[in-house]
Structure formats: C-alpha cells, structure tokens
C-alpha cells in the first residue's frame, strides 16, 4: 500500500464520541505534515459531524482538497435513535430534559406511519444549537448565551429524506436508518418527528454510516491510520 498525500488522498475516519470533526482533522493534519515534512500540506474535511455523534468523517489531502465541495453535496446515511419521551432544547443530549411524556399509548404502527410521512422534499427549520451564523456569530453561541430570541432569524432550508427505515422500537427508543440530502439536521428531524407523533423527541444516539459511496466500514481511527502509514513506509 502506498500513499501520495501531496498529489492527494481521500481518507476515511471513524470519529469517536465527543470528538469534534476538527479534532479528527487536526490530529490527521499534525501527523501528515510531520510525516510528509511539508508544513504547507493542504488537509481539510468534507463535512462536520456533531461531537455527540460518531461515524464517518472524510479528510482530503493535497490536490484532493479540490473535491471537498463535491463530496459535501453527496447524500448522507445515518443510524439514529430517538427518545420519544423527552424534549431537550438542543434536541440531543447536549442539554437537559425540559419536558417528559408518557408514550405508553404510542404504537409501532403510528411510528411507521409518521416515518413514511417524512419521505420526500420538504423544508426543515435548523436547530438554534447549530453552526449556522446569525449576525456573524454561530447560532449555538447565541443559544448557550440564552439568547433564544435570535432563533426567529433562522430560515427554513430545503432538504430531502430519501429513506427513514425503522430498525427497532424499544419504547421509548426508536432506531432508524436515515438517508437524506446535504444540510439535513437529524436533531431537527427528531424534534419534528415527536411533534408529528404527538409526543416529545430528542436524539439519543447518532452514527453517520455513509457519505455518498464512502462507508464507515472502510474507515480507520486515528491511531490505526498512523500505524498503517508507518507500516507502509517500512515496506
């Protein structure tokens, strides 16, 4: 196995829980610039992933960084677990529960019907806890400063849900395989799903399994990546 990081490589990483996408890119960048003896080596990622999510992050080097925009437009695949019994301000575990629900009367048939109703093109309102810029400041910074009035300035975005397949239902948790367009917020989908079913909903777990044709099964963690590069050099 050989690598040419200056000419360009597309690297697949399996991001750990609570790492940011920048953590992955930065660790790869520091290692590659040292390994290649090139402090100017271009290294960038093709799309962020929330710290509380795991899964596929794509890093491009050298001339392959020109393909980042194209990769980012690819459809995404996720495995997501929704907790139907709670509401959280961030729609995930970043914030505490503000409201709880008894969902003993919600059936699997209702969940399947609701999931089916989300298929297709639609408008989605991004969460306030997001990286969208409002007045030059990331929305999540406004949210953490309790400036929720700024939420009125967030505009809906056109998205498409191509697949929303229920994998399991163990009340109050329902697990889906979701295939969607660029720009889809799975946390916002959880919020809207809860409203449609008639309860709360927050994202309990999220794993990105694919970006276009790239799959997490082919990804490495940072340490394995380093070992792979060093072993390739020795051979």
Active site residues: 50
Give the separation between CA 55 and CA 153, rounded to whole angstroms.
Answer: 31
Of 228, 234, 182, 235, nearest to 9 by C-alpha is: 228
The contacts of residue 137 (CB under 8 Å, 6+ apart) are none
Of 135, 161, 159, 162, nearest to 149 by C-alpha is: 135
Helix (H) or strand (E) holding 188: helix 186-197
Number of Cβ atoms within 10 Å of the Cβ of 67: 14
- CA triplet 24, 63, 185: central angle to 5 degrees? 45
Q: Is 14 exposed, middle or buried (0-12, 13-18, 19+ CB in 10 A)?
A: buried
148: DSSP letter: G
* C-alpha dihedral sign at 149, 155, 159, 161: positive
Backbone angles phi and psi of 5, in degrees to 5: -75, -25
Helix (H) or strand (E) holding 166: strand 157-170
The contacts of residue 107 (CB under 8 Å, 6+ apart) are none
């Amino acid at each position: 196995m050989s690598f040419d990081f200056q000419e360009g490589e597309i690297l697949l990483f399996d991001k750990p829980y609570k790492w940011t996408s920048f953590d992955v890119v930065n660790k790869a960048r520091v290692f590659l610039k040292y390994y290649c003896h090139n402090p100017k080596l271009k290294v960038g990622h093709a799309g962020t992933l929330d710290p509380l999510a795991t899964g596929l992050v794509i890093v491009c080097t050298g001339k392959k960084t020109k393909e980042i925009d194209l990769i980012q437009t690819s459809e995404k695949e996720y495995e997501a677990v929704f907790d139907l019994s709670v509401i959280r301000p961030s729609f995930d575990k970043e914030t505490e529960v503000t409201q709880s629900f008894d969902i003993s009367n919600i059936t699997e048939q209702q969940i399947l019907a609701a999931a089916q109703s989300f298929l297709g093109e639609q408008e989605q309102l991004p969460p306030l806890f997001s990286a969208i810029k409002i007045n030059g400041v990331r929305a999540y910074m406004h949210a953490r400063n309790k400036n929720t009035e700024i939420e009125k300035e967030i505009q809906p975005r056109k998205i498409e849900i191509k697949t929303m397949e229920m994998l399991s239902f163990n009340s109050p948790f329902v697990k889906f395989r979701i295939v969607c367009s660029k720009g889809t917020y799975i946390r916002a989908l959880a919020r809207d799903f809860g409203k449609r079913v008639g309860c709360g909903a927050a994202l309990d777990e999220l794993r990105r399994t694919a970006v276009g044709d790239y799959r997490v099964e082919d990804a490495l963690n940072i340490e394995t990546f380093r070992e792979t590069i060093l072993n390739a050099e020795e051979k």
